[in-house]
Amino acid sequence: MQEFFSNYFVNTSGYNIVNTSVYSIVLVVTAYVIFLVLKKMKIKIDRKLIFAVIPYIILGSSLRVLRDAYILRGSLFITPFIYILIFFIAFPILLITNLIQKKTKIPYYKLMFSIGILLIIYPLYQIEYLNFLG
């Protein structure tokens, strides 16, 4: 079992049929569970949610760029683990901001977006923008 895991997930030079299949199954199951949680929490999948999530997409992309530029080290910042990392950052923030909304009436999506903006400031600052204006 350890050899199988090592061959197809650890010591691999990229994607193969085994790890791609496992990642796909995990993605589908996770997406369904997230859908059920959002439904139970009465959070609609709409423009407000998309607006709230945009900074986290930028955060994931920025961290990956910093990894590719060798500013960050470690496999946590490469695919598919970067997706897991961003999920474990964004989803708890969504849950917390939803609770704050219930107590204060401040819309969750505004809070979540604001926190995301704060989180992307430093990674975006670290990226060297060469030839930015053309």
Give the pLDDT mean for 11-40. 86
Question: For 79-120, how does the pLDDT look when each residue is reduced to its tens digit (9 = 90+)?
Answer: 888 999 999 999 999 999 999 999 999 999 999 999 999 999
- Determine which helix (DSSP H) or strand (DSSP E) holds 130, and give its type and residue range: none
35: number of Cβ within 10 Å: 11
Q: Identify the CA nearest to 108 among candidates 46, 58, 59, 57.
A: 46
Cβ-Cβ contacts under 8 Å for 94 (sequence gap 6 or more): 43, 52, 108, 112
Alpha-carbon distance of 56 to 75, in angstroms, equals 19
Output the pLDDT for position 33: 95
Exposed e or buried b per residue across 46-58, where buried means at least 16 C-beta atoms within 10 angstroms of its C-beta: eebeeebbebbeb
Cβ-Cβ contacts under 8 Å for 101 (sequence gap 6 or more): 107, 108, 111
Output the pLDDT for position 94: 97
More confident residue, 9 or 103: 103
Q: How confident is the model at residue 6 (pLDDT cuts 50, 70, 90)?
A: low
DSSP 51-109: HHHHHHHHHHHHHHHHHHTTSS-SGGGSTTHHHHHHHHHHHHHHHHHHHHHHHH---HH
pTM to 2 decimals? 0.83
Give me the percent of the chain exceeding a pLDDT of 70. 87
Q: How confident is the model at residue 10 (pLDDT cuts 50, 70, 90)?
A: low
Question: For 40-77, how does the pLDDT look when each residue is reduced to its tens digit (9 = 90+)?
Answer: 999 999 999 999 999 999 999 999 999 988 889 988 89
